Amino acid sequence: MLRSFSAALLCAAALSAAPCDLIVSARYLVTMDARRQVIDNGAIAIKDSRIVAIGARAAIDRNWQPKRRIDRPNAIITPGLVNTHTHAAMSLFRGIADDLKLQDWLNNFIFPAEAKNVTPDFVRWGTRLAALEMLLSGTTTFTDMYYFEDVVAETAKEAGIRGVLGETIIGFPVADAKTPAAALAFTEKYLQRFKNDPLIVPAIAPHALYTNSDETLKASRALANKYNAPILIHLSETKKENDDNQAKRKQTPTQTLNSLGLFKGRTVAAHCVWTDAADQNLLKLGNVGVAHCPSSNMKLASGAAPVVDMLKRGIAVGLGTDGPAGSNNDFDMLEEVDLAAKLQKLVRGDPEALPARQSFELATIGGARALGLDREIGSLEVGKRADLIALSIDGPNAVPLFDVYSQIVYALKGSNVIDVVVNGREVVRDRRAVTLDQAAIIAKAREYGLSVAASVKQKH
Amino acid sequence: MLRSFSAALLCAAALSAAPCDLIVSARYLVTMDARRQVIDNGAIAIKDSRIVAIGARAAIDRNWQPKRRIDRPNAIITPGLVNTHTHAAMSLFRGIADDLKLQDWLNNFIFPAEAKNVTPDFVRWGTRLAALEMLLSGTTTFTDMYYFEDVVAETAKEAGIRGVLGETIIGFPVADAKTPAAALAFTEKYLQRFKNDPLIVPAIAPHALYTNSDETLKASRALANKYNAPILIHLSETKKENDDNQAKRKQTPTQTLNSLGLFKGRTVAAHCVWTDAADQNLLKLGNVGVAHCPSSNMKLASGAAPVVDMLKRGIAVGLGTDGPAGSNNDFDMLEEVDLAAKLQKLVRGDPEALPARQSFELATIGGARALGLDREIGSLEVGKRADLIALSIDGPNAVPLFDVYSQIVYALKGSNVIDVVVNGREVVRDRRAVTLDQAAIIAKAREYGLSVAASVKQKH
């Protein structure tokens, strides 16, 4: 009698629960919302591409009736990681030439390798390889600067990964455009094709101040603003870049870009290692997002970006891996989070600098702000896109657990990622890619490796 | 007819082949021998605990008849990684107090936590947890400084991991000794018990110059030399340590240790961040091995050790993770290899500094030299102990492959380790620990986590 009474109650509860597509639950939900709430034994209800409820698991289960569910009692769920700067298809050049001076690396290895190898097919497979590595290690949004960006966008949609994807504009002939004017024409078609896409934010990526004419930079800004597209650009990566611009114009690169009007519209600037206080004020005034790339800046000996200073000034700072051909050489965002925290401590001589939670902010809500997407992604909140990852805390590197942020930043690895949801779609489940054919991608990458190696001078 | 003739030939070959216990083969063998040979499609024959042959797979298969074999056509085999500095059992304090100034961290969190929690049982389970994480991520030798080091040694033998294990001598009452004299007496029994052990090198670990009296340091050296045991010690980790010693003695810590005769015998000094040219000459003259800990030095804002300078002076330098309670917080040696290379590039402003192969030397043959064990471990050579690991190159972060050292150092992860052999014994196979009960260890670590959290002040 008691049993059937309970069953009737449960049935009534189920009947009164609202339908949704997916419920995910975990031991901890690290929301990264404005209050930085961490919910013990929490759950998230997802409908279509968005979060419709978040809270204690018992309440979510009472109120929502999902088609599918993912329950992870030994995991932490966080917002998906946001990579604010990379060159995904360069995965096929991974480690082709390391431990070299920047100009030697670019002029004698990378540019020749690109001239001989970059085609739409190369970009498609390179982006597939990158997307596979990114998704499996917890990245749900990547920001790209490369060639044939329409192919990158097609591939990102196929993989189910979110992308802010910038077509490169550069002052010499490249694989997809003979001139900057041709590149701008190509880009306009690309912007038109992918506007309003739920996964893709098409963007324009003038490579840098020092590789483009002022006219091209102004034309890029005008085109970007016509479509409300962001501009992605490298800025003050090396001391040489600053010194050269001072010699030529008696200005910092940031001052020059500002005076050209480049910041009058959505802009994401990668690196900003050599920005001073005045530069940072210009970035803040221009609402420019900064992509901090600690691995790349260390590996290329560029320096250490003044991240703590930029954050104090209210600049939106995200993290990026940079490309895997010499500057990293992987897409592992949890390594960048760890390294960002350690690098600021080192260069400031202060172990309290950029503590774990703040470093994790850079990889989530901070990166979303830097991309101008913080109303859509970067935290787990009702109304936002359902971009999230589950990190196992059931491995030897994950116990005991005293503080979730500390564990995520200093102890957990990309290999601890077990599930990934992007835009409400499960794209990794139980550490396996759902959307991509891993065996085919690895086989093709090896094939490209052989042809790339045969085509260019190698260091060894 | 042809078939039976071939079979007879094969049979004759098998009969003429010498017996061995294990053959391991892989796509690449990175030997780290004096010529730094990399063998394509190579194999290693192992008998008892030692390598009896290494070369092309076809030749090894022709000449040796193994009881078992491990064939990894999609892997790189390298010497096992050598961790030259850690505090293994502190795994149970992982992340208990991060992002703090060193003295605050030690005095308000770590020392009280140790006083309330460290027992033989704690050390046993903490070391099991550490050994599990170390083996799964490719470490085959670890260098430890902690309490109840006899328990650490028992646990290392149980796990099948090699250890240079130093019993701590420190100038205040600790869990296993009320006084330094009591600690020295405890240590002598420990040295006697584990002398001539095939896996364990028992050692004495006077914590540092600033935490011991000169008399204790001299007594430690005398005891060490009586048993030909190494001394393990922290040295010049922070600028404060140097400044305090200058104020007190008008000497650097290295000068003081040298004048006390501490370097007259096997010595491994951890950190050496603040050593100058004169200090480094003393270290070289004393044949002192250096344990460089890049993660720890960055996280605690200690500084960047002058590794390139030390290597130029011919000092034997290895890598260490340091302990996981605030200074790292994991035991992942492939991260240290990556970070060591990047850190030298950053602080020297030179992307050619500490290239991939040289950084990998630190984690293998360099570490072995630092520990005085390079005749036994650190490279894959006939006559050496069979300590080796297989790294999968079949994942998305491992393709394409242009240079094995670059791939290992900048792209592969601890999670790419698939097999581990220590002293001829398979201790990890297919990413699973053979010798340790992972589920029991993780459950116990969680249990200890709760009691540790209840016993001490926590930061959050």
pLDDT of residue B11: 45
Nearest-CB residue to B96 (from A137, A402, A438): A402
A404-417 pLDDT, tens per residue?
999 999 999 999 99
**Which residues are B290's β-sheet partners?**
B269, B317
Q: Which residues of B touch A129 (CB under 8 A)?
A: 396, 399
Burial tier of B4 (Cβ tally within 10 Å: 0-12, 13-18, 19+): exposed
Which of A56, A82, A71, A78 shows the shortest CA–CA distance to A24? A71
The amino acid occupying position B108 is N
pLDDT band, residue A111 (cuts 50/70/90) = confident
pLDDT at A14 over 90: no
**Nearest C-alpha of chain A: how many angstroms from B185?**
33
A224-273 pLDDT, tens per residue?
999 999 999 999 999 999 999 999 999 999 999 999 999 999 999 999 99
Please state, for a pLDDT cut of 70, what percent of chain A lies above it: 96
| Inter-residue contact A117 to A452 (CB < 8 Å) | yes
Nearest-CB residue to B129 (from A396, A459, A460): A396
Which of B156, B182, B293, B286 shows the shortest CA–CA distance to B237? B293
**Nearest C-alpha of chain A: how many angstroms from B7?**
35
Residue located via tokens 């048993």: B227
What phi and psi values does residue B17 have, to the nearest 5 degrees?
A: -70, 140
pLDDT band, residue A6 (cuts 50/70/90) = very low
pLDDT at A47 over 90: yes
B413:A413 CB<8 A? yes
Q: Domain map of chain B by residue range?
A: 20-79+388-422, 81-371
Q: Which residues of A touch B339 (CB under 8 A)?
A: 339
Question: Best of A94, A348, A352 to disrupt the B interface by mutation (most B CBs within 10 Å)?
Answer: A94
- Between CA B273 and CA B276 the distance in angstroms is 9
| A282 and B CB contact within 8 Å | no
A406:B303 CB<8 A? no
- Residues in chain B, pLDDT under 50: 1-12, 460
| Inter-residue contact B356 to B408 (CB < 8 Å) | yes
pLDDT of residue B457: 66
What phi and psi values does residue B264 have, to the nearest 5 degrees?
A: -85, 70
Nearest-CB residue to B94 (from A332, A345, A411): A411
Average pLDDT over residues A367-379: 98
pLDDT of residue A457: 66
Whether the model pTM is above 0.90:
yes
Show the tokens assigned to B198.
């095939």
pLDDT at A445 over 80: yes
**Nearest C-alpha of chain A: how many angstroms from B244?**
18
Instruction: Calculate the average pLDDT of chain A.
Output: 95
Chain A residue whose CA is closest to B299: A342
pLDDT of residue B374: 98
> Which A positions 210-249 lie with beta carbon below 8 A of chain B?
none
pLDDT of residue B6: 45
> Which B positions 137-156 lie with beta carbon below 8 A of chain A?
137
pLDDT of residue A280: 98
- Between CA A347 and CA A343 the distance in angstroms is 6
For domain B20-79+388-422, give the CATH superfamily: Urease, subunit C, domain 1 (2.30.40.10)
Task: Compute the Cα dihedral for B415, B417, B418, B423 and give only its sign.
Answer: negative
**CA distances (Å), A457 to each of A114, A252, A300, B408, in order?**
12, 35, 20, 21
A52-87 pLDDT, tens per residue?
999 999 999 999 999 999 999 999 999 999 999 999
B442:A396 CB<8 A? yes
- Between CA A337 and CA B226 the distance in angstroms is 47
For domain A81-371, give the CATH superfamily: Metal-dependent hydrolases (3.20.20.140)
**Nearest C-alpha of chain A: how many angstroms from B289?**
24
Q: Which residues of B touch A460 (CB under 8 A)?
A: 402-403
HSE-CB at A350 with a 13 A cutoff on CA atoms is 7
Average pLDDT over residues A438-448: 98
A299:B339 CB<8 A? no
